[in-house]
Structure formats: C-alpha cells, structure tokens
Structure 1
Amino acid sequence: MRKTKGFTFRKIFPFLLQSSLTRPSPFRAYSFVPFSPLAMLDPTILTIGGIVLGIAIIERILERWGVIDLVDQLAKIMRFILPVAFYSALFYFFATFIL
C-alpha cells in the first residue's frame, strides 16, 4: 500500500498571495440610469397620458352608442396620434430628466 502525504493549504500556496487578497481601495461608481421612477409623475407626461386615455374612453363610449362611422374616423386619427404622443413623451422624459 502506498503511503499518502498530506499538504496544508499554506504549503501549497505561497505567502505572497495574501497581499492580493486584501480589499481594493474604494472607487466612485456612476449609474447609467440617473433618474428615479417617480420622475414619471411629471405634470407634462401625466397630461399627455390623460389626453390619450380620455380619447380612448370617448372612443369606447361612442362605440357603445352605435356611432360606428365616427369611431372609425377617430380610430384612423388615433393610429397616427398615439405613436406620436408616445414617442414625444418618451423623448421629453429623457431630454429633461437625464443630468
């Protein structure tokens, strides 16, 4: 039978490695997201969202009343207005809240 020899951890790794295990000096970290989610409560963004939501509610009410021609015309207009309003609000948000 072979005789096994035991090694301690300090014999395998030299003493010089202990200096590299110390904590690095602190450094400043900067965030790539400099705004808070609460910044979405801006009155301009809430106004744009309220207008779009109001138009959608009016469209549903007109649909229930049976005024389908007016609903179709409003839907054609909203296909253009909704993306423009969304991207305008998004651009405004990033333009005003990024430092």
Structure 2
Amino acid sequence: MKKTKGFTFRTIFPPPPKPSLTRPCPFKAYSLIPVSPLAMLDPTILTIGGIVLGIAIIERILERWGVIDLVDQFAKVMRFILPVTFYSALIYFFVTFML
C-alpha cells in the first residue's frame, strides 16, 4: 500500500501580504464651487456665445458707419433674441451637466 503525503494550507498558498505600517488618514474635502467653471467650455455654449458676440460687434460697426436704420433693426431683433438665447443656453447647460 502506498503512503499518502498531506499538505498544509500554508505550503500550497502564499501568505497574505502584510498591511503597511503607514495608514492614510481619511479626510473630507468640501468644494465651495458646486459647478466647475471648465464645464462652461462646452462647444455648443461657446458657439452660441460667439454668434451673439459677433452680432453685437457687427451692430457697433454699422453704428460707426452711420447706418442707423439697420442698427435699429438689429436692436429690435436682439432685444428678443438675447434673452431667449441666454435662457435656452442656461437650460441646455443644466440639462446636459452631469453631477
């Protein structure tokens, strides 16, 4: 009859790693700004802002050239478009912003 040899658990599996002597101290970090300013670099918001800024610059150039009739038309249109653009971009930002 053959003799069977027994193995202990420690010889088959390596021992678990020992914990390090230095332990990281847990700390709580608080942010005073709930929304990152870098989130405003969304291409859609930058495009809308660039279009509105371009229209305002065109309006100033036309005013310097003395085309007051066209400037009045721009002012009437911008009086409606600017608030609508601002609120729609604000709603878009908060809808697409991920917390």
TM-score bracket for this pair, using the shorter chain length:
0.5 to 0.7
RMSD, matched Cα? 2.4
User: Shift of residue 32 of structure 1?
Assistant: 9.2
Larger Rg: 2
Letter in 2 for 1:61: I
Structure holding more helix per residue = 1
TM-score, length-scaled by structure 2 = 0.65
Q: Distance in 2 between matches of 1:63 and 1:37?
A: 34
**Structure 1 unaligned residues grouped into runs of 5+:** 1-25
Quote the Cα distance in structure 2 between the aligned partners of 1:63 and 1:55.
12
CA distances 1:60-96 after superposition (whole Å, capped 9, x unpaired):
0000000000000110000000000000110000000
In the other structure, the counterpart of 2:40 is 40
Greater relative contact order, per chain length (Cα 8 Å cut-off, separation 6+): 1
Q: Distance in 1 between matches of 2:96 and 2:37?
A: 14
The aligned residue for residue 56 of structure 2 is 56
1:73 aligns with 2:73: yes
Structure 1 residue matching 2:60: 3-state secondary structure:
helix
Shift of 1:48: 0.3
> How far apart, in 2, do the equivalents of 1:46 and 1:69 lie?
30
TM-score normalised by the chain length of structure 1: 0.65
Using the aligned pairs only, state the percent identity.
82
Residue 15 of structure 1 aligns with which residue?
none
Instruction: State the match for 1:83 in structure 2.
Output: 83
Measure the CA separation in 2 of the matches of 1:44 and 1:50: 10
Q: Give the equivalent residue in structure 2 for 1:93.
A: 93
Q: Give the aligned length.
A: 74
Instruction: Work out the CA distance in 1 between the residues paired with 2:86 and 2:57.
Output: 17
Cα distance in structure 2, aligned partners of 1:32 and 1:75 = 36
Question: Runs ≥4 in structure 1, deviation > 3 angstroms?
Answer: none
